[in-house]
Chains A and B, each alone.
Chain A
């Protein structure tokens, strides 16, 4: 069974579709792995054993009946971030507020996965309402990094990234508001992609910051990410910000890239992302990656994006502002937690007491911050200015993409830090998303692909690749070319260097 969980999604799908193994066997292997290691990792908040096996069985039956698989990923087990609604399966967003809530509807991403025959194993741990960079803000306890259990798996989607790094699932879904797919990908040695805003429907994605949130694929290889990207992407009339255009040809781009030729591709190194505050080992890994791209034939130039340094402050105004409004609906009236309903308290008091009890410190902090930033008298200085910065950052990207096809930077300034290290210092925590935020503000596509281990601590480092809106395919071409070259040079995929977990505690 061990070899099954180590396979890529593409390999698993090949074996399932050719009836070499059954989807049920594959699913069971992953369920067994979860049972074996998740006590240590805590990637899952809910495992849907019955649902997963039933979905796998349906795929097997379809194939046995001679039907074509519903998608290239039919039968492949996936871990779903607990911020996407699942009909009949609990959805908590890592919050006490939604403990036990069972949505009466599927998110569009969930529906597309089901229709594609992808087997949803369960729901993964996350920072509460996706607010955080370490998954320590989950009300259900932290997730541990499979590379070092004392360290964070990144966040907010630490459960999704850890689940694939620990071989509990072949692929996973994350959501990325300020880097919550890419930064966890970076620190767990996995691939994470934030598609172009509007490329994947947000319907059923419990909103943190509506104008920034975007769901995307998490995988152990660029090709797997591309296959998953094609399953979940596409126009959805239920999301008014969804783009009514064909999905970029990401799978074809990944296959093209794997041939290893980047001649004619212009790569821009973002000048502003480096230097002070960056871990030297991260910078060395990044430099090596840039050299690798050059060796593949890419033309590399330095590009200045002067307003990127304003991205973090702008983000910490826009995201909290939107979240203060988005999270207002958690008021104990229609669903979720309710406390103090003892006949002595009014609805207003029950609302305040429930929200006080149901939300964790980081969520409250951001609600307060956003409430302040939107208040009359402060709106122009804070929220209004942040929206102007957003324009400036978009202009920086536009100017850069006039010169180059893709931009690159480290995904995050440091490798995985220790659990507990930054919990009392919100500002230090926020720095983890320094390099990933600009693409959220501008809405363009970005990927993190493993660039090896940092030489000083032996922990994974990520290379961030950024492409223009709707040019997601460029990420996959460059990412796949780089991945193939790096793996060849290192004598194998980075992920196989992750310490064995079985039985250790």
Chain B
């Protein structure tokens, strides 16, 4: 293993260099079947049980293109503001690797199905950066190798490897940006925000599970630095294995500081693949690309060209959902949100949830309040995504309704939510089971007040003497006696009445 890399202080990096980014994102489509065969496209399962002659690359087997995958590719292209090719082909990308059954990847080369687009990306402070899209093309995924012996699962030191081709042939869309320049110190943030925005977009399109942890969304980050006075791009590295949004940001930042340190010493950057280490946030050297790989691309003779009619393309354009960025703008207006409020909403990933809660009858303010505050804390405590909490927007709306109608206090409502999250049933069931109804019956309250006053005669005297503030002690006692189920305001009114009468 090489020594720990020298790193330059980030502020110095920015002072001396301009970073240039290029992001390649691979998205697995959520079609029923694989790209070129009728095998099931589903994550996991017993090894080599979702395979056939085609995706195993058996001699004689041929590909047959999944029309739904082409549709997904075109919809992604349209959502990324791309042009859709009038005519394009698949090509074979030839290289040997054991997890690739045919030893060529059926991909697209100089004729991608979608090209020349852009995605507007909003940063945390609301600044919008336009990321230009070079192309989005169709290809197929590889199988998975398991390395046995040596360090667990690692390629180095392994004694042998085991191959599972369930994933081989799963439809992939590769989305490639044009070089992203001029982002300066915000480059790492832009990288993360781009992948995040892309993920939202793909989720809205419902074309992929976009699970970075399961590999259905994967990002390779190309990073290079230009000295402030340079006119040409520097040599880039390509960091692979970046499996979370946070990692995207860390990987870019790390590469910037690493490359800057080398360049400042008069060194040169090796054009190479690097691997991101989740554990310490560093990248390590992989395969050196001394010369450009010679993939010997040529048009795939087993598949005929694709010529999407303009009618079809327009029909697919009609199926596009509201884009996340437009939706955000609309919601901000409709819900009268400040920029800060919108950002909070976005940061916790609550837009969809709040919208659904509003849909279910709650006011935008109440819905936002519950999701951004109470429920975001619950999600944090449980270390899950907000959307993964065991409560639905409809249930949240119901709880809000119970508060509005006075049936629950806010404090009780939080308890109801706890109950729902704990799986105790629908909000009303929790209210019943836990006996959380607000005590609104005055006679029950009066009994508790009389008891409290009798227990603290001196306080009653003080109130009678005009020290109304002293009533607080009695309110507290009553609330304690009713286990918080009373409306404190009403209790205070009743105490004053009682003492005065």
Establish whether A and B are touching in the complex (CB under 8 Å).
yes
The 7 A-B pairs of least Cβ separation, nearest first, read A328-B103, A374-B296, A211-B301, A210-B301, A204-B60, A206-B59, A206-B60
Tell whether, in the assembled complex, residue B298 and residue A325 are in contact, meaning their CB atoms are under 8 Å apart.
yes
Contacts of B96 in A (CB 8 A): 328, 331, 348, 351
Q: What are 17 A-to-B residue pairs whose CB atoms are below 8 Å?
A: A84-B60, A85-B59, A104-B58, A202-B62, A204-B60, A240-B62, A322-B301, A329-B57, A331-B96, A333-B163, A334-B57, A334-B58, A347-B161, A348-B96, A375-B294, A376-B292, A376-B296
B118 on the interface (CB 8 Å rule)? Answer: no
A207 on the interface (CB 8 Å rule)? Answer: yes
Contacts of B302 in A (CB 8 A): 207, 210, 240-241
Most chain A CB neighbours (cut-off 10 Å) among B57, B59, B63: B59
Tell me the bound Cα distance from A379 to B65 in angstroms. 26
Contacts of B298 in A (CB 8 A): 321-322, 325, 374, 379, 383
With contacts A238-B62, A240-B62 known, is A334 near B296, CB below 8 A? no
Most chain B CB neighbours (cut-off 10 Å) among A98, A104, A328: A328
Contacts of B62 in A (CB 8 A): 202-203, 238-240
Nearest-Cβ distance from residue A382 to partner chain B, whole angstroms: 11
Contacts of A324 in B (CB 8 A): 94, 296
A335 on the interface (CB 8 Å rule)? Answer: yes
B102 on the interface (CB 8 Å rule)? Answer: yes
**What residue in chain B is nearest A355 (Cβ atoms)?**
B96
**What residue in chain A is nearest B304 (Cβ atoms)?**
A240
Tell me the bound Cα distance from A98 to B62 in angstroms. 18
Contacts of B146 in A (CB 8 A): none
**What residue in chain A is nearest B102 (Cβ atoms)?**
A329
Tell whether, in the assembled complex, residue A203 and residue B60 are in contact, meaning their CB atoms are under 8 Å apart.
yes
Tell whether, in the assembled complex, residue B304 and residue A105 are in contact, meaning their CB atoms are under 8 Å apart.
no
Contacts of B161 in A (CB 8 A): 347
B157 on the interface (CB 8 Å rule)? Answer: no
A103 on the interface (CB 8 Å rule)? Answer: yes
Q: Is the interface of A mostly helix, strand, loop or mixed?
A: loop
Nearest-Cβ distance from residue A84 to partner chain B, whole angstroms: 7
Residues of B whose CB lies within 8 Å of any CB of A are 53, 56-65, 92, 94, 96, 98, 101-104, 159, 161, 163, 292, 294, 296-298, 301-304
Tell whether, in the assembled complex, residue B58 and residue A105 are in contact, meaning their CB atoms are under 8 Å apart.
yes
Contacts of B65 in A (CB 8 A): 240
| Cβ-defined partner of A328 (8 Å) among B58, B61, B104 | B104
With contacts A210-B301, A347-B98 known, is A375 near B59, CB below 8 A? no
Tell whether, in the assembled complex, residue B59 and residue A93 are in contact, meaning their CB atoms are under 8 Å apart.
yes
Contacts of A203 in B (CB 8 A): 60-62
Nearest-Cβ distance from residue B122 to partner chain A, whole angstroms: 40
Residues of A whose CB lies within 8 Å of any CB of B are 84-85, 91, 93, 98, 101, 103-105, 107, 202-207, 209-211, 237-241, 321-322, 324-325, 328-331, 333-335, 343, 347-348, 351, 371, 374-376, 379, 383
Tell me the bound Cα distance from A375 to B296 in angstroms. 5
Tell whether, in the assembled complex, residue B58 and residue A325 are in contact, meaning their CB atoms are under 8 Å apart.
no
With contacts A98-B59, A105-B58, A241-B302 known, is A333 near B92, CB below 8 A? no
Tell whether, in the assembled complex, residue B163 and residue A207 are in contact, meaning their CB atoms are under 8 Å apart.
no
Contacts of A239 in B (CB 8 A): 62, 64
Tell whether, in the assembled complex, residue B98 and residue A333 are in contact, meaning their CB atoms are under 8 Å apart.
yes
Nearest-Cβ distance from residue A123 to partner chain B, whole angstroms: 13
Tell me the bound Cα distance from A107 to B62 in angstroms. 10
Tell whether, in the assembled complex, residue A329 and residue B59 are in contact, meaning their CB atoms are under 8 Å apart.
yes
With contacts A325-B92, A328-B103, A331-B96 known, is A240 near B60, CB below 8 A? no
Tell whether, in the assembled complex, residue A205 and residue B60 are in contact, meaning their CB atoms are under 8 Å apart.
yes
Contacts of A351 in B (CB 8 A): 96, 98
Tell whether, in the assembled complex, residue B92 and residue A240 are in contact, meaning their CB atoms are under 8 Å apart.
no
Nearest-Cβ distance from residue B202 to partner chain A, whole angstroms: 27
Tell me the bound Cα distance from A371 to B95 in angstroms. 11
Tell whether, in the assembled complex, residue A240 and residue B303 are in contact, meaning their CB atoms are under 8 Å apart.
yes
| Cβ-defined partner of A240 (8 Å) among B53, B64, B294 | B64
Contacts of A84 in B (CB 8 A): 60
Tell me the bound Cα distance from A105 to B304 in angstroms. 24
**What residue in chain B is nearest A387 (Cβ atoms)?**
B299
Contacts of B159 in A (CB 8 A): 343
Nearest-Cβ distance from residue B149 to partner chain A, whole angstroms: 11
Most chain A CB neighbours (cut-off 10 Å) among B92, B296, B297: B296
Contacts of A322 in B (CB 8 A): 298, 301
Contacts of A331 in B (CB 8 A): 96, 98, 103
Tell me the bound Cα distance from A376 to B93 in angstroms. 12
Tell me the bound Cα distance from A299 to B304 in angstroms. 38
Most chain B CB neighbours (cut-off 10 Å) among A330, A334, A348: A334
Tell whether, in the assembled complex, residue B296 and residue A371 are in contact, meaning their CB atoms are under 8 Å apart.
yes
Tell me the bound Cα distance from A380 to B102 in angstroms. 25
Most chain B CB neighbours (cut-off 10 Å) among A91, A103, A238, A241: A238
Tell me the bound Cα distance from A343 to B59 in angstroms. 27
Nearest-Cβ distance from residue A421 to partner chain B, whole angstroms: 31
Tell whether, in the assembled complex, residue B296 and residue A103 are in contact, meaning their CB atoms are under 8 Å apart.
no
Tell whether, in the assembled complex, residue B101 and residue A325 are in contact, meaning their CB atoms are under 8 Å apart.
no
Contacts of B92 in A (CB 8 A): 325
Known: A207-B59, A334-B57. 16 other contacts (CB 8 A): A91-B59, A93-B59, A103-B58, A104-B53, A104-B58, A239-B64, A241-B302, A324-B94, A325-B92, A328-B96, A329-B57, A329-B102, A331-B96, A333-B98, A334-B58, A383-B298
Contacts of B57 in A (CB 8 A): 329, 334
**What residue in chain B is nearest A332 (Cβ atoms)?**
B98
Contacts of B60 in A (CB 8 A): 84-85, 91, 103, 107, 203-207
**What residue in chain B is nearest A330 (Cβ atoms)?**
B59
**What residue in chain A is nearest B93 (Cβ atoms)?**
A325
Tell me the bound Cα distance from A271 to B304 in angstroms. 34
Most chain A CB neighbours (cut-off 10 Å) among B53, B62, B303: B62
Most chain B CB neighbours (cut-off 10 Å) among A104, A329, A376: A329
Tell me the bound Cα distance from A107 to B159 in angstroms. 37
